[in-house]
Amino acid sequence: MAQPAHADVKTLSFERAIEELESIVKRLEDGKVPLEESVAIYERGESLKRRCEDLLRQAEARVDKITTDASGQAVGTEPLDVQ
Protein backbone atom coordinates (compact mmCIF):
# COMPACT_ATOMS: atom_id res chain seq x y z
CA MET A 1 0.00 0.00 0.00
CA ALA A 2 1.32 3.48 -0.83
CA GLN A 3 2.50 5.80 1.92
CA PRO A 4 0.30 8.77 2.86
CA ALA A 5 0.93 11.84 0.71
CA HIS A 6 2.52 13.63 3.67
CA ALA A 7 5.16 10.93 4.28
CA ASP A 8 8.66 12.40 3.97
CA VAL A 9 10.25 10.97 0.82
CA LYS A 10 13.72 11.18 2.42
CA THR A 11 12.74 8.56 5.02
CA LEU A 12 11.19 6.00 2.67
CA SER A 13 12.87 2.71 1.90
CA PHE A 14 13.54 1.88 -1.73
CA GLU A 15 10.68 -0.63 -1.74
CA ARG A 16 8.15 1.85 -0.29
CA ALA A 17 9.26 4.64 -2.61
CA ILE A 18 9.03 2.48 -5.73
CA GLU A 19 5.65 1.12 -4.62
CA GLU A 20 4.26 4.63 -4.20
CA LEU A 21 5.82 5.75 -7.48
CA GLU A 22 4.16 2.85 -9.31
CA SER A 23 0.83 3.81 -7.73
CA ILE A 24 1.23 7.40 -8.91
CA VAL A 25 2.09 6.30 -12.45
CA LYS A 26 -0.99 4.07 -12.55
CA ARG A 27 -3.26 6.87 -11.34
CA LEU A 28 -1.86 9.28 -13.92
CA GLU A 29 -2.14 6.71 -16.72
CA ASP A 30 -5.78 6.08 -15.81
CA GLY A 31 -6.43 9.76 -16.56
CA LYS A 32 -9.16 10.13 -13.95
CA VAL A 33 -7.31 12.52 -11.64
CA PRO A 34 -8.24 16.22 -11.69
CA LEU A 35 -5.56 18.49 -13.18
CA GLU A 36 -4.52 20.16 -9.92
CA GLU A 37 -4.13 16.80 -8.17
CA SER A 38 -2.29 15.40 -11.21
CA VAL A 39 0.30 18.15 -10.94
CA ALA A 40 0.74 17.56 -7.19
CA ILE A 41 1.15 13.79 -7.48
CA TYR A 42 3.45 14.21 -10.50
CA GLU A 43 5.71 16.43 -8.38
CA ARG A 44 5.70 13.83 -5.59
CA GLY A 45 6.50 11.18 -8.20
CA GLU A 46 9.56 13.17 -9.26
CA SER A 47 10.73 13.28 -5.63
CA LEU A 48 10.16 9.55 -5.28
CA LYS A 49 12.11 8.88 -8.49
CA ARG A 50 15.07 10.90 -7.18
CA ARG A 51 14.90 9.01 -3.85
CA CYS A 52 15.02 5.66 -5.67
CA GLU A 53 17.94 6.80 -7.83
CA ASP A 54 19.85 8.01 -4.75
CA LEU A 55 19.27 4.73 -2.91
CA LEU A 56 20.41 2.73 -5.95
CA ARG A 57 23.59 4.83 -6.22
CA GLN A 58 24.30 4.24 -2.53
CA ALA A 59 23.83 0.50 -2.98
CA GLU A 60 26.12 0.43 -6.01
CA ALA A 61 28.83 2.25 -4.05
CA ARG A 62 28.79 -0.53 -1.44
CA VAL A 63 29.17 -3.36 -3.93
CA ASP A 64 32.64 -4.88 -4.15
CA LYS A 65 34.22 -6.20 -7.31
CA ILE A 66 35.79 -9.63 -6.87
CA THR A 67 39.39 -9.75 -8.05
CA THR A 68 41.01 -12.89 -9.45
CA ASP A 69 44.53 -14.07 -10.12
CA ALA A 70 45.85 -15.29 -13.49
CA SER A 71 44.31 -18.73 -12.95
CA GLY A 72 40.87 -17.26 -12.28
CA GLN A 73 40.87 -17.92 -8.53
CA ALA A 74 39.25 -15.27 -6.33
CA VAL A 75 41.93 -13.44 -4.36
CA GLY A 76 40.06 -10.57 -2.79
CA THR A 77 37.81 -7.63 -3.43
CA GLU A 78 38.23 -3.99 -4.32
CA PRO A 79 35.75 -1.11 -4.47
CA LEU A 80 33.51 -1.14 -7.53
CA ASP A 81 34.33 1.66 -9.97
CA VAL A 82 30.92 3.33 -10.32
CA GLN A 83 31.99 5.90 -12.90
pLDDT in tens, 2-60: 445 557 999 999 999 999 999 999 999 999 999 999 999 999 999 999 999 999 988 87
**Sequence spans of domains, the chain:** 9-79
CA distance 20 to 26: 10
Give the per-residue pLDDT at 59.
Answer: 82
pLDDT over threshold 50, residue 63: yes
pLDDT bracket for residue 73 (50, 70, 90): confident
The residues pairing with 64 across neighbouring beta strands, listed in sequence order, are 79
